[in-house]
A = this chain, B = another copy of it.
Amino acid sequence: MAHLRAPATRRERQREATYDEIVAVSARLLEEGADLSLRAVAARMGMTAPALYRYVNSYQQLVDLVAFELDKAATATWAEAASRFSEDDPAARLTVACARFRQWALARPREFALVFANPIAEADTERRELLTLATSGHYFTDLMWQIWELYQFPYPALEELDPVIREAVLDPLIPAKSDHIPTEDRGLLWIYMRAWSALYGVVTLESTGHCDPRVIESGQLFRATILDWLEPLGLRHERARLTAILDEELARP
Contact = CB atoms under 8 A, between A and B. Distances in A.
A154 interface: no
B214 A197 contact: no
A200 B194 contact: no
B209 A200 contact: no
Contacts of A200: 201, 204-205, 210
A201 to B, nearest CB: 2
Interface in A182-199: 193-194, 197-198
Given A168-B214, A173-B212, A194-B221, 16 more contacts: A113-B117, A113-B119, A117-B117, A117-B210, A119-B209, A120-B208, A120-B210, A162-B220, A164-B218, A165-B218, A168-B218, A193-B212, A194-B224, A197-B211, A200-B201, A201-B202
Instruction: Determine how many copies of this chain the complex contains.
Output: 2
Contact of A164 (B122, B198, B220): B220
A201 B209 contact: no
A181 B72 CA distance: 46
Contacts of A109: 119
Interface string A93-127: 00000000000000001100100111111100000
Nearest to A132: B212
